[in-house]
Amino acid sequence: MKKGILLIAAVGTMFFTSCKDAGSSASEKVKAENVDAAAARDSKATVYPELSFDETEFDFGNIPQGEPVEHVFTFTNTGRAPLVITNAKSTCGCTVPEYHKNESIQPGETGEMLVKYNGSGRGQVQKTVTISANTENGQEQIKIKAFVEAENAS
């Protein structure tokens, strides 16, 4: 029994010490060029595009009920990486954004998003368009509003 325990202990010691490379540490095995490449890769990962609109809200004022209106929102990529808008959606079907989906907009370039509203509802209305893009926070918002005047009943 004693010999069995000693044999197991000896084999276990050889197993654990044989994996260790004598005379070198893990930091000595890391190549300097790999560290530089990883640092360059990681620094690029923190560079984002920025979606900067000339205006984030537009007021159509008073419009007749059922009167379709539209407005063009102009934006610029003020970041340091290409901007890609992947989706734009409204809070309801009465407001429709139109844009160039998945088009790459380089830093410093401008783009447009057309927002159409069909004039439904009554009174003060406000609609939000949520834009999904590859910006740091991933979503931006623009808004339209109008006062929809009820049709005259004749």
pLDDT band per the 50, 70, 90 thresholds, residue 50: very high
**Domain residue extents for the chain:** 53-149
DSSP notation for 75-130: EEE-SSS-EEEEEEEESSTTEEEE--TT-EE-TT-EEEEEEEE---SSEEEEEEEE
Number of H helices, E strands in the chain: 3, 9
Number of Cβ within 10 Å of residue 51's Cβ equals: 24
Fold that domain 53-149 belongs to in CATH: Immunoglobulin-like (2.60.40)
pLDDT of residue 84: 96
pLDDT band per the 50, 70, 90 thresholds, residue 70: very high
pLDDT band per the 50, 70, 90 thresholds, residue 37: confident
What share of the chain in percent tops pLDDT 70? 73
- pLDDT, tens digit, for every residue of 72-124? 999 999 999 999 999 999 989 999 999 988 899 999 999 999 999 999 999 99
What is the rounded average pLDDT of the residues 48-62?
97
